[in-house]
Amino acid sequence: MNTIKVADLRIRVKSSNTDFFEKLFSNYICNDGLPLDMSMETVVFEKLSQPNGEIIQALDTYFVIKTAENKNCFYKKDSPNGEILFAVFYTTDYRDVRIEIKRDINFLSTNACDFEYIFTGFMFSNRLAFLGGTVLHSSAIAYENKGIVFTAPSGTGKSTHTELWHKKFSDMVVTLNDDKPAIRFIDGEPYLYGTPWSGKTHINSNICVPLSAIVCLERDTECSIERMDAVSSVLFLTKQLPNPYHDSDIGKKTVGIINELFNAVPIFKLKCNISENAVDTVFNAVLGDNL
């Protein structure tokens, strides 16, 4: 069992795959003895028991129930045999989480270890949202202690764009996270954090920098950049922020976070190709006179 600190949250983690997760969390270990902000435990079973409780929501083979222990449980049944594939028990503030996974799960081409990785990331994201922060689907860098987030739907070229920054500026650029960096407000100011949940690349750094700008990417043959208005920012970012359908309160908090971000940092729409010109376009807009 490890205690890690991610985005200034101290999290006690008990993993089912010790070797994998000790390596994953190695740069985030924290033993300062201060109070915990969250605990997560994952257990893998040969067969999962049917969770019991009052059904809150049901969608196809997904269910959310309120248990007798006054926790919620989100679980999925296999189709057509009805076996439980996974069940996630959590307090409504996501402070205490228990993840149960069927050992031979084969759903969406993922195994039990993959599911643990995915769900620990989801539950951390929900806990952070409950506390007023967020995890943004993006590739995030720090240039001379200034955080810049590049966000877009998968396959648009976020990682490719940050690679161009590394190529141009070398050691002056650090990638905080290549898939799911965290953002928190400290004394009213937004800060960008690396997290260990960084998608398939596992590129992340356990550092924190002030957030300077959010850049929404869109592919084009030419490069151009402009500030986005509030409506455009909400429409774009809502699709890149976690918003679990089974928790409307987290959804409301997510919209509030977008509003805070819009008022705190410039949000840009970058139309770009894969070239150094794309880096120069962002650099001049974000780190030049406009900042």
Q: For residue 168, tell me if it sits in a domain.
A: yes
Q: Do 200 and 104 fall into the same domain? A: no
What digits encode the pLDDT tens for the residues 8-60? 999 999 999 888 899 999 999 998 999 999 999 999 999 999 999 999 999 88
Q: Do 86 and 98 fall into the same domain? A: yes
Give the mean pLDDT of the chain. 92
Total domain count for the chain?
Answer: 2
Burial class (CB in 10 A: 0-12, 13-18, 19+), 260: middle
Q: Do 83 and 161 fall into the same domain? A: no
Token digits of residue 201: 């690349």
For 145, list phi and psi in degrees, rounded to 5. Answer: 70, 20
Confidence check: pLDDT of 289 > 60: no
Confidence check: pLDDT of 107 > 80: no
- Give the CATH number of the domain where residue 218 resides: 3.90.228.20
Q: Do 199 and 281 fall into the same domain? A: yes
Q: For residue 275, tell me if it sits in a domain.
A: yes
The whole-number pLDDT of residue 245 equals 66
Question: Among residues 130, 149, 183, which one ends one of the domains?
Answer: 130
Q: For residue 291, tell me if it sits in a domain.
A: no
What digits encode the pLDDT tens for the residues 111-125? 899 999 999 999 999
Q: Do 31 and 54 fall into the same domain? A: yes
The whole-number pLDDT of residue 291 equals 40
What digits encode the pLDDT tens for the residues 65-87? 999 888 999 999 987 788 999 99
Question: Among residues 70, 100, 130, which one ends one of the domains?
Answer: 130
Rounded CA gap, 233 and 200, in Å? 27
Q: For residue 65, tell me if it sits in a domain.
A: yes
What digits encode the pLDDT tens for the residues 240-263? 988 776 788 888 888 899 999 999
User: At residue 282, what is the residue type?
Assistant: V
Rounded CA gap, 227 and 31, in Å? 42
What digits encode the pLDDT tens for the residues 114-166? 999 999 999 999 999 999 999 999 999 999 999 999 999 888 888 999 999 99
pTM of the model: 0.93
Q: For residue 61, tell me if it sits in a domain.
A: yes
Q: For residue 234, tell me if it sits in a domain.
A: yes
Q: Do 113 and 165 fall into the same domain? A: no
Strand order in the sheet with 96-102: 2-6, 9-14, 38-45, 96-102, 84-90, 72-77, 62-66, 54-59
Q: Do 166 and 281 fall into the same domain? A: yes
Confidence check: pLDDT of 209 > 90: yes
Q: Do 122 and 142 fall into the same domain? A: no
**Contact by Cβ (8 Å): 74, 57:** no
Lowest mean pLDDT among 4-8, 236-240, 287-291: 287-291
Rounded CA gap, 238 and 250, in Å? 12
Q: Do 124 and 185 fall into the same domain? A: no
Question: Among residues 130, 162, 180, which one ends one of the domains?
Answer: 130
Q: Do 77 and 167 fall into the same domain? A: no
What domain range is 245 assigned to?
134-286
Q: Do 104 and 139 fall into the same domain? A: no
Q: Do 80 and 210 fall into the same domain? A: no
